């Protein structure tokens, strides 16, 4: 092969390589698509390591029960009811000569649970367990059967907690955990005396955190409950909720139920809050509570975007009380509190609990979002004054009053509704819905032609299966907003928009 032929062959090979590179890169840049191409569905991450050793878990339950049961007590309270008051129009019905004796107060008995927190006999329980004990008697029964007369040291209505003292020594004492570290899904045990069945242990998980269920009827009430599906019944109140380390993480307080008995939802006061309340009651005879002085509410998506946030997070300051710790710290209406003491707060109860664990004079660090910027402020809490305005914004949702199980009145709509039974579903030929049992004259609903026996089958384009569905949808609306109802009546189906007054 001549030199010229060798050079030509090399040039040809180089040209082929160059053409291949160009061709390949071109195909990579413009990848042909196909109608069969689909996106990757589902996470491609490796499964979470969730190895479960049932024998170890069983042994943990047994060990925790052995350790904690001796620290749990039964509390019986006998109180005197107030005598019946004379009716205002008594003489109108019976005349002045009718002889009437006001009945003697009759004793009432209540039962609950408690947990021993000191060796010398201080016991933590719920306020509603011992309410009335001041004028009656409190009997405390230990796990070994011994009974003691209990003395009420103090009660706190705002957290539904109380402390009772018995004269005893060398008692077994419960260990406290850290409720701030609780996570949804964590195993917990509830221990108490439900339905008179002493020292019953039930197991479940932490179902949710930071629940506000509206049982403390005070504008300063602190509700930031732990929700659990461990069975809790009447009599469990005041008993401990414990983790698998045998540490008390909550004080069982309430259940969500239509029957008054367990239906899967129990609520406990976080122990970090309960501990502070107990310490104050023991030391001062009452709770010394610091106040920030703001009206707050939870953020919804629209309001968050209106304030410039990417998503709902933090607590919105609706108003600042004049002369309060918040005002002196520079907090303004329209601010969003993102963190308190380094902890994120996204529900009013979370902020309220942190503040409730502080005392007057304590300083709290706050991270604030204001007009697109994040700033940090420090507030020095002040004592609570009875004449101060509420610490949380008043409920702006329309009231929903339960008349009886399955029957709810929505006063601001002028409607009373009831759930449909199977017979009614067949009669009205509907799968879902609630029946309107009453329409208030001259109400918004009445003026729109809504009448008794109309069926609400949808609200805001969502199916309504029962009164609870409708209640949740309506309570998500604020005064002045419109809710769209779809009704079925003898005339057929129709949509009606009602403005919430």
> Where does 340-443 have alpha helices with state H?
348-356, 422-428
User: How many residues can be counted in the chain?
Assistant: 501
Residues classed as catalytic: 128, 160, 237
> By three-state DSSP, how is residue 169 classified?
coil
User: b or e along 235-257 (b: 16 or more beta carbons within 10 Å of the residue's beta carbon)?
Assistant: bbbbbbbbbbebbbbbbbbbbee
| CB of 164 closer than 8 Å to CB of 153 | yes
Q: Residue 311, class by beta-carbon neighbours within 10 Å (0-12 exposed, 13-18 middle, 19+ buried)?
A: exposed
DSSP per-residue string spanning 454-484: -EEEEETTEE--SHHHHHHHHHTS-TT-EEE
How far, in Å, CA of 180 to CA of 342, rounded? 12
How far, in Å, CA of 348 to CA of 394, rounded? 12
Helix (H) or strand (E) holding 68: helix 54-68
End-to-end CA distance of the chain: 101
| CB of 164 closer than 8 Å to CB of 134 | no
């Amino acid at each position: 092969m001549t030199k010229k032929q060798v050079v030509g062959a090399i040039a040809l090979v180089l040209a082929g390589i160059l053409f291949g590179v160009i061709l390949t890169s071109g195909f990579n840049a413009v990848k042909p698509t196909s109608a069969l191409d689909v996106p990757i569905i589902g996470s491609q991450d490796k499964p979470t390591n969730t190895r479960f050793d049932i024998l170890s878990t069983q042994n943990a339950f047994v060990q925790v029960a052995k350790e904690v049961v001796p620290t749990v007590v039964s509390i019986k309270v006998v109180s005197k009811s107030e005598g019946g008051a004379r009716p205002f129009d008594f003489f109108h019905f019976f005349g002045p000569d009718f002889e009437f004796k006001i009945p003697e107060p009759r004793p009432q008995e209540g039962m609950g649970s408690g947990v021993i927190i000191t060796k010398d006999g201080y016991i933590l329980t719920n306020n509603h367990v011992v309410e009335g004990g001041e004028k009656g008697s409190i009997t405390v029964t230990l796990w070994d059967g011994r009974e003691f007369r209990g003395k009420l040291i103090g009660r706190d209505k705002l957290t539904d907690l109380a402390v009772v003292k018995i004269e005893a020594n060398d008692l077994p004492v419960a260990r406290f955990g850290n409720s701030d570290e609780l996570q949804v899904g964590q195993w917990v045990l509830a221990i108490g005396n439900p339905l008179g069945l002493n020292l019953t242990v039930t197991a479940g998980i932490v179902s949710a955190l930071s629940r506000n269920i509206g049982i403390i009827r005070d504008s300063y009430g602190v509700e930031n409950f732990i929700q659990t599906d461990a069975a809790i019944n009447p009599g469990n109140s005041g008993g401990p909720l414990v983790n698998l380390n045998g540490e008390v993480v909550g004080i069982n307080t309430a259940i969500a139920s239509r029957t008054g008995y367990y239906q899967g939802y129990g609520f406990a006061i976080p122990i970090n809050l309960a501990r502070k309340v107990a310490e104050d009651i023991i030391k001062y005879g009452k709770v010394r509570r610091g106040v920030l002085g703001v009206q707050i509410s939870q953020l919804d998506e629209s309001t968050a975007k209106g304030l410039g946030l990417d998503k709902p997070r933090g607590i919105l300051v609706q108003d600042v009380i004049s002369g309060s710790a918040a005002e002196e710290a520079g907090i303004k209406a329209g601010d969003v509190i993102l963190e308190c003491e380094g902890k994120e707060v996204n529900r009013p109860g979370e902020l309220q609990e942190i503040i409730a664990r502080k005392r007057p004079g304590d300083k709290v660090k706050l991270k604030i979002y204001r007009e697109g910027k994040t700033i940090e402020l420090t507030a020095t809490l002040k004592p609570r004054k009875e004449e101060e305005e509420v610490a949380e914004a008043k409920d702006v949702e329309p009231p929903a009053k339960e008349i009886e199980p399955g029957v709810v009145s929505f006063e601001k709509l002028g409607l009373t509704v009831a759930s449909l039974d199977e017979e009614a579903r067949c009669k009205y030929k509907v799968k879902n819905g609630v029946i309107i049992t009453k329409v208030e004259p001259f109400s918004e609903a009445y003026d729109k032609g809504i009448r008794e026996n109309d069926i609400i089958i949808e609200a805001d384009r969502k199916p309504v299966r029962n009164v609870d569905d409708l209640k949740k949808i309506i309570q998500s609306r604020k005064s002045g907003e419109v809710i769209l109802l779809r009704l079925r009546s003898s005339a057929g189906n129709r949509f009606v928009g009602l403005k919430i007054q």
